[in-house]
C-alpha cells in the first residue's frame, strides 16, 4: 500500500490527468525505481548463458576457454550481500545514492558486457510509461493473495496466472 500511494502521488504531481510522454520518464523517478525493483525480483529472463573465451580466475577456481557458464539473475538479484532484505520489495534501493553502492553486475536484468541488450533503454522507458498509465487510471487488487508459483521457461512467468480485480482509480468501481 505504501509503494502504491507514493507512486500515485508522484504520477498525480507530475502528470495530473494528462497522458505521459517520453519526456516525462525523467521526472517519474519513483516509477522507474518501482520498475527496477520489479525486475530485480522478477527479471524478464531468469538466467543467461555465456562461454568463456579466455581463462578466468574466480576465487580458487579457473574457468577454461570454451566452458559454458550460466548466470542466474534470479539468484544474484536475491543475494543479501548486494541487496539487504532481498525478498522485500523496496524501490528505495534504486534512489541514486543507494544505486551507486550496488556492485556492477549484481543487477543485470538486461544482461551485461558486450551482449548487453541494445533495447534496454527503450524497454525501461516503455515499462515506466506503461506502469504510469495503468496506475494513473486503475488500481489492482489480488483476488486471493498468495505466493505466486513461477515457471522458468525462456522468460519467467506465473505458473497459474495471477487473478486480480481491476478498479477504475477515481470511481473505484470494477473496470
Per-residue pLDDT tens over the stretch 24-56: 999 999 999 999 999 999 998 888 899 999 999
Confidence category of residue 77, pLDDT binned at 50, 70, 90: very high
What pLDDT was estimated at residue 175? Answer: 56
| Range with lowest mean pLDDT among 79-83, 96-100, 113-117 | 113-117
Q: Which residue has the cell 579457473?
A: 62
Q: Which of 86, 88, 87 is nearest to 102 (CA)?
A: 86
Q: Which of 157, 151, 132, 136 is nearest to 21 (CA)?
A: 132
Neighbour count for residue 126 (Cβ, 10 Å):
14
The alpha-helical segments, DSSP class H, found in the chain are 2-15, 29-41, 73-76, 96-100, 120-137
On the question of pLDDT at 115 being above 80, the answer is yes
Percent of the chain with pLDDT over 70: 97
**Sign of the C-alpha dihedral computed for residues 11, 13, 17 and 18 taken in this order:** negative
Instruction: Please report, for residues 33, 91, 109, 124, the alpha-carbon distance to residue 37 in angstroms, rounded to integers and kept in the order given.
Output: 6, 5, 10, 12
On the question of pLDDT at 112 being above 80, the answer is yes
Q: Distance (Å, rounded) from C-alpha 9 to C-alpha 12?
A: 5
Those residues with Cβ within 8 angstroms of residue 97's Cβ, 6 or more apart along the chain or in another chain:
none
On the question of pLDDT at 148 being above 60, the answer is yes
Q: Mind listing the domains of the chain with CATH numbers? A: 2-137 (1.10.630.10)
| Range with lowest mean pLDDT among 1-10, 31-40, 58-67, 165-174 | 165-174
**What's the pTM?**
0.87
Q: Distance (Å, rounded) from C-alpha 73 to C-alpha 70?
A: 10
What pLDDT was estimated at residue 173? Answer: 53
Average pLDDT of the segment spanning 153-164 = 85
Q: Which of 89, 6, 171, 2 is nearest to 14 (CA)?
A: 6
Amino acid at each position: 500500500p505504501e509503494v502504491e500511494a507514493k507512486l500515485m502521488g508522484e504520477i498525480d504531481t507530475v502528470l495530473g490527468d494528462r497522458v505521459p510522454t517520453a519526456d516525462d520518464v525523467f521526472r517519474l523517478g519513483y516509477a522507474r525505481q518501482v520498475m527496477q525493483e520489479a525486475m530485480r525480483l522478477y527479471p524478464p529472463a531468469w538466467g543467461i548463458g555465456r562461454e568463456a573465451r579466455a581463462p578466468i580466475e574466480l576465487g580458487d577456481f579457473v574457468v577454461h576457454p570454451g566452458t559454458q557458464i550460466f548466470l542466474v539473475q534470479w539468484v544474484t538479484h536475491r543475494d543479501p550481500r548486494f541487496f539487504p532484505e532481498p525478498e522485500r520489495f523496496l524501490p528505495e534501493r534504486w534512489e541514486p545514492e543507494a544505486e551507486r553502492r550496488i556492485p556492477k553486475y549484481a543487477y543485470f536484468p538486461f544482461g551485461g558486457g558486450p551482449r548487453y541488450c541494445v533495447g534496454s533503454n527503450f524497454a525501461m522507458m516503455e515499462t515506466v510509461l506503461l506502469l504510469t498509465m495503468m496506475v494513473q487510471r486503475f488500481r489492482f487488487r489480488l483476488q486471493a493473495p498468495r505466493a505466486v508459483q513461477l515457471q522458468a521457461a525462456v522468460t519467467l512467468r506465473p505458473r497459474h496466472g495471477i487473478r486480480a480485480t481491476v478498479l477504475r482509480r477515481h470511481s473505484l468501481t470494477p473496470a
